[in-house]
Amino acid sequence: MASPKDLRFTKTHEWVRVEGNEATVGITDHAQEELGDITFVELPEIGAEYSRFDPMSAIESVKAASDIYAPVAGKVIAVNESLENSPEKINQSSYGDGWIARLALRDPKDLYELMDAEAYDAYLEEIEE
């Protein structure tokens, strides 16, 4: 499945969608498939500030626990509280209802350091060989 064209991606399988000065962050469909059934999501604190690639959250599944890294620098302005009771939303809709946090974007130039959908899909092919 091709990755959504309106997103940017990290090599640690986070995605970011930027609208204005707001960056919505989640994990990729590839990441949720690798993790298997997600059982818990530790959400970041509203108001917390992160530099690019800082660990900002954690996720647990039947297979593993993993950190979620901030793909861009910013301040947390919203979290997806529905994941506290329904972490499986990430498995069901990793690019939609399974988003993790929204950040006030500190520096739009951070996006240039991330992969577009085409580059991310090529990266996935490379690591799966």
Structure tokens belonging to residue 109: 């130039």
Integer Cα distance of 93 and 29 in angstroms: 8
Residue 32 belongs to a domain: yes
Q: Sign of dihedral through CA atoms 120, 122, 125, 126? A: negative
| This prediction's pTM | 0.94
Q: pLDDT band for position 129 (50/70/90)?
A: confident
The closest alpha carbon to 8, from 106, 97, 121, 125, belongs to 121
The predicted pLDDT at position 128 comes to: 83
Residue 3 belongs to a domain: no
* CATH code of 79's domain: 2.40.50.100
Residue 118 belongs to a domain: no
Structural domain including 19 reads 8-106
Structure tokens belonging to residue 120: 């991310």
Counted domains in the chain: 1
Residue 38 belongs to a domain: yes
Tokens 């910013």, located at residue:
74
The predicted pLDDT at position 1 comes to: 63
Integer Cα distance of 4 and 33 in angstroms: 16
